[in-house]
Amino acid sequence: MRWGFVGLGQMGLPMARRLAQAVDLTAHDPARDAAEGLRLVHRAPDLAPCDVLVTCLPNGDVVDTVLFGPEGIAEALAPGTVVVDTSTTTHAAALRLAARLGDLGIGFLDAPVSGMQARAEDGMLTMMVGGDVARLDPLRAALGTIANRIEHMGPVGSGQLTKLVNQLLFNINIAGVAEIMPIAARLGLDPVQIAQVVNSGTGRSFASEFFLPNILKGVFDQGYPMQAAHKDLVAAEALIVEHGLSAPVLAAATASYRETLTQGLGHLDKGAMIQVFEQKAGTALRARDPD
Amino acid sequence: MRWGFVGLGQMGLPMARRLAQAVDLTAHDPARDAAEGLRLVHRAPDLAPCDVLVTCLPNGDVVDTVLFGPEGIAEALAPGTVVVDTSTTTHAAALRLAARLGDLGIGFLDAPVSGMQARAEDGMLTMMVGGDVARLDPLRAALGTIANRIEHMGPVGSGQLTKLVNQLLFNINIAGVAEIMPIAARLGLDPVQIAQVVNSGTGRSFASEFFLPNILKGVFDQGYPMQAAHKDLVAAEALIVEHGLSAPVLAAATASYRETLTQGLGHLDKGAMIQVFEQKAGTALRARDPD
């Protein structure tokens, strides 16, 4: 079985390297001529013929271009090929891609992953898959080299929905930390002590555990840039209105996120939301006692 | 050294029992004539004379009544006594109590605890203390029998502020779960699977870990009743306005909390917030597969 892989970024490169140890894999990235341990081709269509094509790209528009653009690979793929899109796109994009590929007789699984670069390097990602389980099952062993947890969530689009739900909760939790912790500092509590109490108490979250230590050090470049992650909030807004749903806490978190972007902090990670509320509270949450 | 203890409720009873094994302790609760393992008095003022008086009461008004009401104990306490209030009250209440007791020459520490009944029984509470550290230090060994972690946070009121900050984050995190998870169910995802993904992913929080398993079982009586915990949101509202602070996500979470109370669900724990959003989404987050 031949595998193709498109997109050798922060997540894609370690994923492709792990997969290449398990299967016969050829890779492509428009910005790379070489990558240690990988066999590359210069044009995406040269990945064909292959049995499985994995994509790991920044958003749904890029996936669309890679598959159906002027240099697109979709036309070169044989009927029966399966495209496994590990990009974080949207429910709507997954449905659209599946329909267009389906017209060519090509299968599609939306399979976004969660976990950061370190977990990608260790093959410890969680993969949330939407689509025909009969297409997924034969690939589980190989995909298991990049994701130690593979959850089939339902029909096409379910993988994107699952990842979105997780990301929305993550955004709410960090937005809460961003507005509440400067209040604590402004009211005279020591930032290091209050962070310790929160992270050992009922107020803790992955967001508080991941971001508070970095915030206390003034480090804001250890997560995904906010301007890239903003697509999750755009996708949520569309879904919520489409289905007539109510999400008031998310709406408030989204407003804080947006304000952080409009203040020019979008290149930083989500911990940077605290800078907006530090300004409002007239305080800063740096460690007073750096031990 | 003689200790008095007022308030033998869900938290106070196990706390008093553990303390009584370490110090010479007499206890009082207006609703109890006897409690196994404790020496009781029928009137609060009969706890005097004592060197330390611990209070563990539902809110600041009750603390006020116990100390300064018609049957109040404050007048019976000798100058030099220290009152350790483990109740969750407010920053303002702590300042007021400290001032009134100070006029009588009596010391005051606000020392709310976090952790639930099970942790009280094991002496594994976290105690957040505000007030003169020189009054706290001689009591640390004895208080260590109820709280394995005792954090001195600053001047009087700092203990209440610290607990409040933790509770506000807890409320935001559960309000997020309450509105996002019914959206997931409405969009067709399996509640059990999505709960597993969230609780192993970046969206997780103590709130999601504690409440989601109970929500999936339809169990809403495992935490503190919302109508009692609502005092935290009242206290936050006062502080935020007093200090001119901004807390938009908390405001949205507070609105969801309030709506849950006004729907008559205030006797349930915070997981019940999900019932409001299940209604809005026209779905229920029960486990489809109860295994």
DSSP string, A232-269: HHHHHHHHHHHTT---HHHHHHHHHHHHHIIIIITTS-
Return the pLDDT at A287: 65
Q: Shortest CB distance from A169 goes to which of B126, B176, B246?
A: B176
> Which of B126, B170, B180 is the best mutation test for A, with the most CBs of A within 10 A?
B180
| Amino acid in position A47 | L
Token digits of residue A278: 């530090």
Å between B66 CA and nearest CA of chain A:
28
Å between B38 CA and nearest CA of chain A:
30
Indicate the angle between helix axes B191-199 and A158-186, nearest 10 degrees.
Answer: 50
E strands, chain A, in order: 2-6, 24-28, 39-40, 52-55, 82-85, 107-110, 113-114, 125-130, 147-154
Domain edges within chain B:
2-154, 162-281
> In whole angstroms, what is the distance from residue B26 CA to residue B11 CA?
17
Tokens 């492709």 locate to A16
Fold classification of B162-281 is N-(1-d-carboxylethyl)-l-norvaline Dehydrogenase; domain 2 (1.10.1040)
Percentage of chain B exceeding pLDDT 70 = 98
Return the pLDDT at A288: 54
CB-based contact A180 B250, cutoff 8 Å: yes
Tokens 């429910």 locate to A91
Question: For residues A256 and B249, is the Cβ–Cβ distance under 8 A?
Answer: yes
E strands, chain B, in order: 2-6, 24-28, 39-40, 52-55, 82-85, 107-110, 113-114, 125-130, 147-154
Q: B2-154 and B162-281: same fold?
A: no
Percentage of chain A exceeding pLDDT 90 = 91
CB-based contact A169 B240, cutoff 8 Å: no
CB-based contact A173 B172, cutoff 8 Å: yes
pTM of the model: 0.91
Å between B139 CA and nearest CA of chain A:
20
Return the pLDDT at A16: 98
- Asked if residue A290 has pLDDT above 50, the reply is no
pLDDT tens figures, B51-80: 999 999 999 999 999 999 998 999 999 999
- Asked if residue B287 has pLDDT above 90, the reply is no
> In whole angstroms, what is the distance from residue A196 CA to residue B96 CA?
28
pLDDT tens figures, A201-220: 899 999 999 999 999 999 99
Size of interface A-B (CB pairs under 8 A): 228
pLDDT tens figures, B203-233: 999 999 999 999 999 999 998 899 999 999 9
Q: Which CATH superfamily is domain B2-154 in?
A: NAD(P)-binding Rossmann-like Domain (3.40.50.720)
